[in-house]
């Protein structure tokens, strides 16, 4: 059993992960409307991944005899200034999620909650990978530029990144 404090904090993380899933789904729709099929596929994959992160915490709470709450999620934005602005927002959101995971770790350490600390180690590694991936994409966008002629190349680069990530995930299974 975990403390009420940890239970509440994990339920807040569920909301954050759920919002990320909806945000990335909204971004996928925007990318699709811009004709950026590779970026849309990437964002759909990211949305599913964030939903899985949310559900992983949801199930964990049940396993430790706590109560998981289905999140009420705010409407994410659906318009973005540019593909670069979109990926900058993704990167900043991932940094926010990382900071939240670190707060959960602090609670775990303060409360001597080794079970939750062990559970959260997966998220620590996952967030490192997510931030690195978004930085890579932003670096490529900066190199290519984000003018109208560059969008085709950005879309192909993101499509390639997506394919590599899918292949890595398949190799882990």
For 3, 56, 109, the CA distances from 134, given in Å and listed in that order, are: 34, 22, 29
CATH number reported for the structural domain that contains residue 37 in this entry: 1.20.1260.10
pLDDT at 18: 96
Confirm or deny that 102 is annotated as ligand binding. no
Q: Could you count the other beta carbons within 10 Å of the beta carbon of residue 94?
A: 22
94 is in an annotated binding site: yes
**Is 53 flagged in the annotation as binding?**
yes
Is 121 marked within a binding site?
no
Domain of 19 in residue numbering reads as 4-172
Domain count for the chain, please give it.
1
- Produce one character per residue of 50-82: b if its CB has 16 or more CB atoms within 10 Å, e if not: bbebbeebbebbeeeebebeebebeebeeebee
pLDDT at 146: 78
pLDDT value of position 168: 81
pLDDT tens profile 101-129: 999 999 999 999 999 999 999 999 999 99
pLDDT value for 164: 86
Q: Please indicate if the annotation marks 127 as binding a ligand.
A: yes
Low-confidence residues of the chain, pLDDT below 50? none
């Amino acid at each position: 059993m975990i403390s009420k404090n940890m239970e509440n904090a994990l339920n807040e993380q569920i909301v954050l992960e759920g919002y990320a899933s909806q945000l990335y789904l909204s971004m996928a729709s925007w990318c699709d409307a811009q004709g950026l099929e590779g970026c849309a596929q990437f964002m759909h994959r990211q949305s599913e991944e964030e939903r899985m992160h949310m559900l992983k915490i949801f199930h964990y709470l049940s396993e430790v005899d706590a109560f998981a709450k289905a999140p009420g999620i705010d409407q994410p934005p659906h318009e973005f200034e540019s593909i670069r602005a979109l990926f900058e927002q993704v990167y900043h959101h991932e940094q926010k999620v990382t900071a939240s995971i670190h707060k959960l770790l602090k609670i775990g350490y303060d409360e001597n909650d080794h079970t939750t600390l062990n559970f959260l180690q997966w998220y620590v590694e996952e967030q490192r990978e997510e931030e690195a991936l978004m930085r890579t994409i932003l670096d490529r966008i900066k190199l290519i530029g984000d003018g109208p002629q560059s969008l085709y190349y950005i879309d192909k680069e993101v499509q390639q990144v997506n394919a590599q990530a899918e292949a890595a995930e398949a190799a882990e299974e």
